[in-house]
Structure 1
Amino acid sequence: MVVTSQVRRGDADGRNAIARRLITGSVKRSYEPVVDLDWDREPEPDRYFLPPRALTLAGTELWAGLSEEQRIEVSRQELANILSVGIWFENLLNRTLMARLMTADAASATTHYALTEMGDECRHMVMFGRAIEWAGARPFRMRLAERGAMTVLPYALRGSLLWVAALVGEEIFDALQREMLDDPQLQPLVARLMQIHVAEEARHIGFARDGIMRRKPTRSRWETFVAANGHAVAGVLFRRLFTNPAMYRRAGLDGRHAARVARSNPHFREVQVRGFASLAAFFSDAGLMSRLSRYGWQRGGFLP
């Protein structure tokens, strides 16, 4: 018991040191999207809102039959969809962190970094919303059941499961954005948005990963079980969110048919696998990739 208490005190000291370093990094490298992005620059008519190779329909017969104008419209709606999903998850993370702060040590560096991260996420939500409007699209809304789940989840995410959820909501998007942001066919404003988001999310991801690994020696079997299995449904959920039929309908396609084509598209599956590869390896190292969660991510197309 004494040894465990010493480990936990040392862990808290190390966690606070990481938090102080990240706060310093935030001071040196943070952005204000309202002024750091050129919102007055109109979208370029011959550029995509997401790179063609990253789009869900790329490589399919349906895609081959589309005109260049239709393909760009599909990319516009896919951008609006993925940014809408990003807003939902950053909203969820902020509300979860806010609930934890009710009982947190208000003087600790970890609390101060949580507040700093929440500020970053608020600016990201503004940036995403402005980008949807700038692109000439409209945001996508959650279904009633999804809103209900998002309302309850902040009170259920505790311990390692909180940081697992944070990584699931952030790291897959981060990995995909790193692939996209230098694509010459991408709208310059979208590329800049991705650069800002990748730079700031790197700190959030580092904080979440550190939180998981520091808890690994002392977490209970129950905490491990919940955290290792709690993300099992995420792969299937993300697959459905990424292939939202509504975005294809807005692009002038048959929404249900296009969604079926996308979900069976081997090219899109390769994109998903690449986006999840780093996180899958981390969860395995942390002892948080159970057979159930692996099955869920495979069903969603994120694991080979």
Structure 2
Amino acid sequence: MGDNAVTSPAIRETPLSPRESFAARLLTGSVKKSYDPVVDMDWDAPLDPDKLFLPPEIVSLYGTPLWEAMTPEQRRELSRQELANVLSVGIWFENLLNRLLLRELMAGDPTSRHSHYTLTEMGDECRHMMMFGKLIDRIEARPYWPNRYERLVIAALQLFLRGSMVWVGALVGEEIFDALQRRTLDDPQLQPLVARAMRIHVTEEARHIGFARDALAHRVPTMSRAELLYTRLCVAVAAPLFVHLMTNWHMYARAGVEDGRAARRLARANPHSRRALGLGAANLGAFLDKQGLIGPIGKRVWRRRGLL
């Protein structure tokens, strides 16, 4: 090299913080294993005329006298309607979550791994909404729309879910049903197309759940007492809202049950359904309790709704 050559100083890379390192690992995982429902689902595969659309122990009336009196065809139809309701709720929730994450990005560092994974998660959620919509159409069901009161609540959530509650809301919406999916996606009574959608969702939601848990765990030590009390209140309210959405009386009516509202009351009191919800919420409840985010009132409400 000549005397007049210009040498560049060595670039010293700043070590990543634990939060950034975790987001970087999630980004790598997303590159290695992500799905596109348009090409990774066989939408032309025939539905099995004898298989259910949800495993029986997940169906809200499972084990009740009403369930025992149903024919196999009636049970299959109820499972079809319950799946359509779950998918519809999933679409509303992931739409809301993307709005919250986009708002978080407005105040974030666009060069950070944390922001880059937030964008990656939003892309995943967009594909999940498409997958859920296509699946409702493929099983020849109709989506379930929120009523006027529910629409107002969903719209208002954007105002109340801020800071730590963005991540609490993400976990309540994702983790309970994710745990149920993990326990049942290999059930031989389940439609193969539904099992495939569950497997895709479980794979990608595992990263989303880890991301939300990490963000919440980093925020808890910095919370003021007011934010902690507010978060505990919201955690308590989340339980009845989740159970309400999962037991929409219209799905019983569409399945041919004569009194949909009576069926909903039966489902909410059903010990089998409550046990399934409790198992699904166990890990989330333990995590929130460890973070100090389920207060005494929250624990009572969650127990009353079968989530603890």
Letter of the structure 2 residue corresponding to residue 281 of structure 1? A
Q: CA RMSD in A?
A: 1.4
CA–CA distance in structure 2, aligned partners of residues 213 and 137 of structure 1: 40
- Residues 202-249 of structure 1, C-alpha deviations (whole Å, 9 max, x = no match): 000001111111122222212211222212112111222111110001
Instruction: Work out whether residues 235 and 293 of structure 2, in 8 Å CA contact, stay in contact via their aligned partners in 1.
Output: no
CA–CA distance in structure 2, aligned partners of residues 17 and 183 of structure 1: 36
**Once structures 1 and 2 are overlaid, which stretch shifts more, 181-190 or 260-269?**
260-269
- Residues 236-291 of structure 1, C-alpha deviations (whole Å, 9 max, x = no match): 11222111110001001121121111111111111111011110000111111111
Q: 2:114 aligns with which of 110, 117, 137?
A: 110
Establish whether residue 146 from structure 1 lines up as the match of residue 153 from structure 2. no
Establish whether residue 28 from structure 1 lines up as the match of residue 32 from structure 2. yes
Q: Which runs of 5+ in 1 are unaligned?
A: 1-9
Instruction: Work out whether residues 245 and 259 of structure 1, in 8 Å CA contact, stay in contact via their aligned partners in 2.
Output: yes
Indicate the residue corresponding to 1:287 in structure 2.
292
Q: TM-score, normalised by structure 1?
A: 0.93
Indicate the residue corresponding to 1:296 in structure 2.
301
Instruction: Work out whether residues 283 and 289 of structure 1, in 8 Å CA contact, stay in contact via their aligned partners in 2.
Output: yes
Letter of the structure 2 residue corresponding to residue 256 of structure 1? R
Instruction: Work out whether residues 96 and 155 of structure 1, in 8 Å CA contact, stay in contact via their aligned partners in 2.
Output: no
Q: 1:272 aligns with which of 251, 271, 277?
A: 277
Instruction: Work out whether residues 19 and 109 of structure 1, in 8 Å CA contact, stay in contact via their aligned partners in 2.
Output: yes
Larger CA Rg, structure 1 vs 2: 2
Establish whether residue 50 from structure 1 lines up as the match of residue 54 from structure 2. yes
CA–CA distance in structure 2, aligned partners of residues 157 and 239 of structure 1: 19
Letter of the structure 1 residue corresponding to residue 265 of structure 2? R
* Residue 23 of structure 1: how far off its partner (Å): 0.7
Indicate the residue corresponding to 2:230 in structure 1.
226
Establish whether residue 128 from structure 1 lines up as the match of residue 115 from structure 2. no
Indicate the residue corresponding to 2:64 in structure 1.
60
Indicate the residue corresponding to 1:14 in structure 2.
18
Indicate the residue corresponding to 1:201 in structure 2.
205
Instruction: Work out whether residues 237 and 300 of structure 1, in 8 Å CA contact, stay in contact via their aligned partners in 2.
Output: no
Letter of the structure 2 residue corresponding to residue 286 of structure 1? Q
Instruction: Work out whether residues 239 and 302 of structure 2, in 8 Å CA contact, stay in contact via their aligned partners in 1.
Output: yes
- Residues 71-120 of structure 1, C-alpha deviations (whole Å, 9 max, x = no match): 00000000000111111111111000111222221111111111000000
In the comparison of the two structures, how many residue pairs are matched?
A: 293
Q: TM-score, normalised by structure 2?
A: 0.92
Indicate the residue corresponding to 1:185 in structure 2.
189
Establish whether residue 41 from structure 1 lines up as the match of residue 45 from structure 2. yes
